[in-house]
Amino acid sequence: MAPGSSTINRKRVVALKKYLLKGNEAIAEAAIKAGCRLFFGYPITPSTEIIEYMAKHLPAVDGSFVQAESEVSAINMCYGAAGAGVRVMTASSSPGMSLMQEGLSYIAANELPVVLVNIVRAGPGLGGLGPSQADYFQATKGGGHGDYRLIVLAPNSVQELVDLTRDAFDLADMHRNPVLLIADGILGQMMEPVVFKELEAPSLPDKTWATTGAEGRPRNIITSYALQNEIGEANCLRWEAKYKNIAATEQRWEQYMIDDADYVVVAYGTTARIAKAAVQQARQEGIKVGLLRPVTLWPFPVKAFAALGGKVKGYLTVELSAGQMIEDVRLAINCAVPVHLCNRQGGMVPSPEEVLARFKEVFPNSVEGGV
C-alpha cells in the first residue's frame, strides 16, 4: 500500500486473471467496470482508442455513446449527464482539454462528478503527439475561469491506469467534484498486463441533488448563477472548505529508497519510471538518492515532503515541460534546500543516464569525492 491517505478505502476480495491491454483501452474497460454508462467525446490523438472502445462496448451494457461535434459540446454533455445522476466520462488530449475548460468550470461550480482523461501531448498550440507533462499547470491550477480545483490522478503504469480510473469515479461521487486522470501517449499506447481487481464498493453519498424529474420530491436546480454577492461568497466558502477537506484526506504518493536518502528525485507518470531507473543506477554507484512519486498532483502530496523533514539536501524534479511541478515542490519545502530541474520537452523523453548525469551536475557533492 502506497503511503498517503484516501477516503476510498478498499478491501481486496479476489484477484482475477491477467489481461494484456493497451493503456487507453484499459482506461475505457476500467471505466465500464466502474459503472460508467455514458461517454461523450471527440476524436483526438493520442487518446482516440478510449472513445473507440466506448463506442464499441457501451451498447452491450445498455450505455450510451455520443461522438460530439466538438470537445466544447462533449464536456457540456457530461455536465448534463452528471447532473442527471449517472456516471459519465470523457477523454481527450491537450488541445481538446483546452476546449473543455469552460465546461469544466461550470462542472466544478455545480459540483458534478465527472471523470476526465487527458492523454497529454506536446504543446502549446497544435504541438506534437509525443509524451508531455506540459499540461500540469492547466490540470492542477485551474484552467477554466474562477477558483476551483480538480482532483488530479497521475498513474505510471497500465495497471495503475485501471486502478485509478476506478478510484476516479468513486472520488468524484464521494466529493461531488470532477476528477482528472492525467497521462501521456506513452502510457496510453503501451501494453502491459493488468488485472481488474474485484473490490468492495466504498460507501458513497446518494445523489439526492440530481435532476431526474421532480416526481414525489421538491424540485432540484443545478445552476452556478449567483448575481447576489453575498450568495456568491457563501458558495465560494463552501467550495473552499471542500477543497481543504480533499487536500487533507486525499494525498497519495509512492516512495522508493527514500529512508536513508540525502537527495530525492521527484517525478510522476512516465518520467517516474525513468527516474526510478536513474535512482537504481545511482544507488549502484553508492549515491544516497531516493524517488518520490506524486500519485495525486492535486492535492499535491505535501505530507510526503513534510515527513522527510530536514534530512534531504536537495531535490531534482524530472519533467516533460519547462518546469511546472517544480514550483509545487519548492512550495512544499518552503524553498529550504535547492530544487533543480531535469527536463525534455516537445515530445522528447530523457534517458535514465541523462537524469543521472543531470543529477550529478546539480549535486556534485552527492558523488563520493565530489566537490
Partner 1 sequence: MKEVFTRSKALTEAPFHYCPGCTHGIIHRLVAEKIEEMDLLGKAIGVTPVGCAGFCQQYFNIDMQGAAHGRAPAVATGIKRALPDKFVFTYQGDGDLASIGIAEIMHAAARGENITAIFVNNAIYGMTGGQMAPTTLPGQKTSTSPFGREASLAGFPLDMPRIMAQIEGAAYVASVSVDSPKNVIQAKRAIGQAFECQLAGRGFSFVSILSTCPTNWGLSPVKSLEWLREKMMQQFALGILKDVSAK
Applying CB under 8 A, among 30, 50, 51, 86 the residue interacting with partner 1 is 86
If the CB atoms of residues 157 and 177 are measured against partner 1, the closer one turns out to be 177
User: Of 139, 83, 159, 154, nearest to 114 (Cα)?
Assistant: 83
d(CA 181, CA 154): 6
85: contact with partner 1 by CB under 8 A: yes
Alpha helix (H) residue ranges in 84-211: 94-109, 136-141, 158-175, 185-189
Phi-psi region of 176 (alpha: psi -120 to 50; beta: other; left: phi over 0): left
For position 225 contacting partner 1 by CB under 8 A, the verdict is yes
46 binds partner 1 (CB under 8 A): no
Q: Are 274 and 266 in contact (CB under 8 A)?
A: no
CB atoms closer than 10 angstroms to residue 57: 17
Position of cell 490540470? 139
DSSP labels, 142-179 = -SSSSS---EEE---SHHHHHHHHHHHHHHHHHHT--E
| Nearer CB in complex with partner 1: 222/307 | 222
Which range binds partner 1 by CB under 8 A, 180-188, 206-214, 253-261, 290-298? 206-214
The answer to whether 230 contacts partner 1 (rule: CB under 8 A) is no
Residue 143 touches partner 1, criterion: CB under 8 A: no
Q: Which residue from 42, 53, 106, 243 is in contact with partner 1, where contact means CB under 8 A?
A: 106
- List 203, 208, 215, 286, residue binding partner 1 (CB under 8 A): 215
* 101: contact with partner 1 by CB under 8 A: no
Number of residues that bind partner 1 (CB under 8 A): 39
Any idea what DSSP says for residue 368? T
Binding segment for partner 1 (CB under 8 A), chosen from 119-127, 209-217, 237-245, 262-270, is 209-217
Q: Identify the helix (H) or strand (E) that includes residue 13.
A: strand 12-14
Residue placing its CB nearer to partner 1 in the complex, 81 or 266: 81
Closest Cα partner for 139 from 150, 126, 147, 125?
150
Out of 7, 212, 235, 280, the residue judged to bind partner 1 by CB under 8 A: 212
- Selected range binding partner 1 among 15-23, 62-70, 263-271, 318-326, rule: CB under 8 A: 62-70
The verdict on 76 binding partner 1 (CB under 8 A) reads: yes
For residue 72, state whether it binds partner 1 (rule: CB under 8 A).
Answer: yes
Closest by CA to 252, choosing from 162, 171, 133, is: 171
Adjacent-strand bridge partners of 116: 90, 180
Query: For partner 1, which residue of 50, 51, 54, 82 counts as binding (CB under 8 A)?
Result: 82
| Interaction of residue 61 with partner 1, rule CB under 8 A | no
Nearer to partner 1, 78 or 295 (CB): 78
Q: How far is the CB of 136 from partner 1 (least distance, A)?
A: 25
Burial label, 206 (beta-carbon count in 10 A; 0-12, 13-18, 19+) = exposed
> Would you say 112 or 342 has its CB closer to partner 1?
112
Q: Which residues are at the interface with partner 1 (CB under 8 A)?
A: 38, 40, 64, 66, 68-70, 72-74, 76-86, 88, 102-103, 106, 110, 211-216, 219-225
